[in-house]
Structure 1
Amino acid sequence: MTLKTLITAAVAATTFAGAAFAESHSGTDNPMVGGAAMFPDKNIVENALNSADHTTLVAAVKAADLVDTLMGDGPFTVFAPTNAAFGRISDDSLNALLQPEAKAQLTQILTCHVVAANVMSDAIAGMIADDGGMHAVPTVGGCSLQAKMDGSKITLTDENGREATVTIADVRQSNGVIHVIDRVLLPAQ
């Protein structure tokens, strides 16, 4: 089964569930992500499973055996690349990353999107301001991301100079927060 087939099946399976969750979303002020409600009493994985925009990320988290970790107590801040962000990677490269023999590399890439703290966007913006316009963000994967402001948006630059923009900030989870980003960040190469 190809990655695209797997993702298409996952989207179809979660679309109905996401619509049902969205109907019951009233009463929370969490942003919708991928057409689905995000509930602050659900963990990172439970909410990501409902986002039609994060099916590739969910497949990658499963392939790297990080599901149990991201369902844990945390706290975690996850910079969550969308399917479109993963779409900037060639199909061959992405398929290779999802193979069992690439698990260590995939794990490092994914954990370079995770911070071992619950950090909301206003706190990140404050750290950027306090540090004179740029703040180093150490990740669980050993990467250092550089956070800065681009107008009212937070951007993150990886160790290779690749820049991602936070497109949806402050999606509260029971074990942390998700900030949706538009590019996959990589460790130094």
Structure 2
Amino acid sequence: MLTKFKLTIATLFATLVVATTAHADHHGMKKDIVDVAAGNESFTTLVAAVQAADLVDTLKSDGPFTVFAPTNEAFAKLPEGTVEMLLLPENKDKLVAILTYHVVSGKVMSADVMKIDMATTVQGQDVKVSTDNGKVMINDAMVISADIKASNGVIHVIDTVIIPE
């Protein structure tokens, strides 16, 4: 059923999410994962990648999904030219694999993350979940902001792009 997927200035991001969520809730609507990401300047690279991979409709669907969302700074840590290479149409399958490796089916809040040591991604491989001195790690990526709610799931912001084997 689910075969494709993906999706800081912590204070600014939290303020923006709270403000847009409050505004959206007041008007009887709530933003989905794509809308939340697209509404924040820290995720322009992620949003471009999701568009290039044709995953927008999937991540706008009912879900629920848990997205470990890398920031622009996380993408910038990749070797020079990697992002541009992945955005080329001929590399779409590789991009889809990377993005879907950042998505878990279901809504996994931070309280739940603390109780698990592994999660199976939509891509099919597992990610390692660990905690150390109050820091939550997804493989080698640190969660820098957690529990950003969307109408179809939750976003946890990470500081590194995680790559499947």
User: Structure 1 length normalisation: TM-score?
Assistant: 0.74
Correspondence 1:89 to 2:78: yes
**Residues 1-189 of structure 1: pairs in structure 2 closer than 5 A:** 33=13, 36-37=16-17, 39=21, 41-127=30-116, 135-157=117-139, 163-188=140-165
> What is the Cα-based RMSD across aligned positions, in Å?
1.6
Compared with structure 1, are the counterparts of its residues 84 and 136 closer, same or farther at alpha carbon in structure 2 (3 Å cutoff)?
same
Segments of structure 2 that go 5 or more residues without pairing to the other structure are 1-10
Q: Which has the higher contact order (CA 8 A, sep 6+)?
A: 2
> How many pairs does the alignment contain?
146
Matched residue type, 1:104: D
| Partner SS for 2:160 | coil
In 2: Cα distance, 1:83 partner to 1:137 partner = 24
In 2: Cα distance, 1:91 partner to 1:47 partner = 27
Spell out structure 1 runs of 4+ moving beyond 6 A.
none
| Partner SS for 1:126 | coil
In 1: Cα distance, 2:14 partner to 2:79 partner = 22
Q: Percent identity among equivalent residues?
A: 46
Residues 143-169 of structure 1: CA deviation (Å, up to 9, x unaligned): 211101021121011xxxxx0000000
User: Structure 2 length normalisation: TM-score?
Assistant: 0.84
Of structures 1 and 2, the larger Rg is shown by 1
Which residue is 2:4 aligned to? none
